[in-house]
Amino acid sequence: MTNKLFSPIILLLVLAFLIGPFLIIIAASLSAGETLAFPPQGLSLRWVLKVFEVESFRASFGISMFLAIGGTLAALILGIPASYALSRYKVPGAETIRTIVSSPIIVPGIIVGLALLRYFVVPFNFGILFALFLAHTALILPYAVRVVSASLNNLRSDIEEAAVLLGSSRVGAFFRVVMPNIRGGILAAFILGFVTSFNQVPVSLFLSGPGVRTLPIDMLAYMEITYDPSVAALSALLAFMSLGIVFLAERFLGFSRYV
Amino acid sequence: MFQNRAEAFALVLPAAIFAAVVFLAPVLILLSEGFRSGDSWTIQAYIDFFSQSLNQTVFLRTLKLAALVTAASAVIGYAAAFAIVNLPPKGKGRITGLVVLPLMISPVARTYAWLVILGRTGFVNKALVTVGLSDEPIRFLFTETAVFIGLLQLFLPLMIISLISALENMPRDAVPAARVLGANWLQVFTKVILPLTKEGLVIGGTLVFTGSMTAYITPAILGGSKVLMLETLLYQRVTVANDFVSASVIALILIVMAFAANLLLKRLATARNKR
């Protein structure tokens, strides 16, 4: 069959197209030269080290971390009870509620950011950071509800009913019986939310002010003025960070089962 | 199923109210601005928007690029997914992992790589000049081709994974049977594979199409102000001209497209569940 020869060639080309640019970024970030180039002009770690010295990168990394962790936690605090209610209770208008909660996933992020800027930040004098926090929480909420709902639906509800019959309170049954069983799903939702928020650009585009910027936005701004390999080095470092998180998650809890 | 309504509402309302206040209300107000003129309601903003040739160009370019990226990813996606499905199980898992891997990497990093490859002093130009195919560097950046390549690289994995699961659900013997009965490869594809994997193609296609339609980073980095798409146009209208009316018009166009695609997906999902 022609397939024997054809398949490996196709796969090689597709993988080269998908992964190749990422390898080139790593190579370019190891350059010793002044400007971005591939093949790199000599090898050195100077640009990788420089990333840690750029003041604005350090500040925006902190902000992105805060948003990714804080936003995901807030989304889980809102999302876990909502998912629980939607899967265990007869909620009137459940479909409408589900649509409202998951709509931020459908509407392009740039619009959410602009709307928040125009109707929250400007008229009510909200801080940019607070608006960013709200926007990222809203953005992660659909993922949190989806992943947690999926693990709740896989969990038999009679074990908690048994706990209640045996004298546990409803809240006690939730924390002692349900939570331990959906821990994996919650962790998966946390990782998915973290990665989504950390890599998010459009939502944060309009929500940036003096000294308050997320890391990807800061990178976009930095590469408009300079053409040195430090953004390549930072890109490579961030990619390794995301891949490391996903790898660990897959290793220890079979992440892909949940998403 | 628990019946207690008060409890149910207490659990579900914080999330619903949060989404409604932080997300739904501001977005709806933004959309309404496109229909306001003083105190009255009008569609004048839409007429004005589409009567400007720049806006027409950007609108059509966005549709065109999204369609081209979808078509290209479908062609490449079938070839790749078919090759992956026919691998031995261990290789299948690994290669699928490698295909999904880029989805976890920041789109800024992934798009930035193309600057290194396609730039004036980039890899491709150096190779062309060294080999002697071209006397001077060719301009790749800030062209539709560059944006097309960037978007294809960004969204191809979504198409491949949709087609992999569609091909895996296809009856194992369908292709060999058609071959034995004398069909050539083109017939096998159009008469057997395509009808049996249509759903996967539509799911992958909608993901790629809406993703490309609403992309910001790729046209911003690889297209610049020369190759505006709807999102970069929106950003430019707001930051350069403080033009919130055009922004509202573009926002509605993007949302309508995204919702239409999502509705299509939902309909397909329910159709499949019934079967």
- Output the pLDDT for position A257: 64
Residues of A in contact with B3 (CB under 8 A): 89-90
Mean pLDDT, chain A, as a whole number? 88
**pTM for the structure as a whole:** 0.89
Q: Are A22 and B113 in contact (CB under 8 A)?
A: yes
Q: Does residue A162 or residue B148 have the better pLDDT? A: B148
CB atoms within 10 A of CB B17: 12
Please say whether the beta carbons of B227 and B143 come within 8 A: yes
Residue from the list B102, B116, B156 with its beta carbon closest to the beta carbon of A38: B116
For domain B52-274, the question of CATH label 1.10.3720.10 is answered with yes
Is residue A246 a contact partner of residue A191, using CB atoms and an 8 Å limit? yes
- Which residues from chain A sit within 8 angstroms of residue B219, using beta carbons? none
CB < 8 Å to B238, chain A: 114, 206
Per-residue pLDDT, averaged over A155-181, amounts to 88
pLDDT at A29: 86
Distance from CA of A232 to the nearest CA of B (A): 7
B19 at A interface, C-beta within 8 A: yes
B22–chain A Cβ distance below 8 A for any pair:
yes
A80-119 pLDDT, tens digit each: 999 999 988 888 888 899 889 988 888 899 999 999 999 9
Asked if A10 lies within 8 A of B79 by C-beta distance, the reply is yes
Query: Among partner residues A7, A107, A199, which is closest to B106 by beta-carbon distance?
Result: A199
Buried b / exposed e over A112-133, threshold 16 CB at 10 Å, is bbbbbbbbbbeeeebebeebbb
How distant is the Cα of B182 from the closest Cα of chain A, in angstroms? 14
* DSSP SS3 for A209: strand
Q: What percentage of chain B has pLDDT greater than the value 90?
A: 53
Give the number of other CB atoms < 10 A from CB of residue A157.
14
> A250 in the Ramachandran plot: left (φ > 0), alpha (ψ -120 to 50) or beta?
alpha
Domain definitions of chain B by residue range: 52-274
Q: Does A201 touch chain B (CB under 8 A)?
A: yes
* Domains contained in chain A, CATH given: 1-44 (no CATH), 54-257 (1.10.3720.10)
- With bands split at pLDDT 50, 70 and 90, how would you rate the model's confidence at A3? low
Nearest CA in chain B to A104: B23
Question: Cβ contact (<8 Å) for B26 and A120?
Answer: yes
pLDDT of residue B161: 93
| Chain A residues touching B66 at Cβ < 8 A | none
Q: Are residues A101 and B16, on separate chains, in Cβ contact within 8 Å?
A: yes
Interchain proximity A235–B112, CB inside 8 Å: yes
